[in-house]
Amino acid sequence: MKLREDEVRVPASGYEIRAMVISPAGAGPWPGLLLYTDIFQLTESTLRTARRLASAGFVVCAPEIYPRTDLAGVALEFDDAGKQAGLAGAAATTTAQFDEDRAAVLDHLAGRSDVTTLFATGFCLGGHLAFRAAFDPRVAATVCFYPTGLHNGALGADADAGSLARAADIAGRLMIVFGSRDPHVPADARLRIVSALYAAGQEDLELHVYAGGEHAFMRDVGARHDPVLTDHALTEAVSFLTER
């Protein structure tokens, strides 16, 4: 499938959010998919994943997650300096700011003539942000890939964003993907997440734990990448979102 790529500037309160919109070529309409990056923002690795999802028939909108900081417009390298800069960007952003930016991007997607249903997805910190996107009643389904901080609430500048405590606010369908060897979301953390979801009444959901998967196993750069698990995870995600 041929794709179209556009850089857009989503208006927010006193600033703009740079985002890449990748969609099938043609008039559409298609479902809109808000895609949250990991801490490294709009890297070519993330954009390759966005293209794969767009080729499945989605208008994928991938915004920068640090538009208020000096990292606006910056795609970080996958090295120690890039990691530290990404973590610093997260530490400078509150949950309320993440939520405000989410509303702006969803408003943009909802207002597009080529978009129908709204979905959300994300990776690592972006998986946590995708979980919070599911609080918006417009989001019909969400896929969170190895969300960090969800089990203990840590998100950006906040020690406890209270995300799991709001699990009952999720009205759409939910799928969460973990790797069994992820040190950021080990077995006890996964158990805490699942228990909280069930306690909130979220029993109609999909939970996947991929044997041998490390943290960021879907990032196609570096030794952690597992191409087979990545293909499997993306296939399962598309199937889940489209209910096929």
Each residue of 182-230: pLDDT tens digit? 999 999 999 999 999 999 999 889 999 999 999 999 999 999 999 999 9
Catalytic site includes residue 215: yes
Integer Rg of the chain from CA = 16
108, 128, 151, 215: the catalytic one is 215
**Which of 20, 24, 26 has the alpha carbon at shortest distance from 41?**
20
38, 136, 158, 182: the catalytic one is 182
**Which of 162, 166, 101 has the alpha carbon at shortest distance from 137?**
166
Q: What's the half-sphere exposure (Cβ side, CA atoms, 13 Å) at 99?
A: 13
CA distance 196 to 84: 31
Each residue of 151-181: pLDDT tens digit? 999 999 999 999 999 999 999 999 999 999 9
Look at residue 244 and tell me whether its pLDDT is greater than 80: no
Each residue of 99-144: pLDDT tens digit? 999 999 999 999 999 999 999 999 999 999 999 999 999 999 999 9
- Put simply, whether the predicted model's pTM sits higher than 0.95 gets the answer yes
38, 61, 124, 151: the catalytic one is 124
CA distance 63 to 206: 26
Each residue of 34-85: pLDDT tens digit? 999 999 999 999 999 999 999 999 999 999 999 999 999 999 999 999 999 9
What are the structural domains, with CATH classification, of the chain?
A: 3-242 (3.40.50.1820)
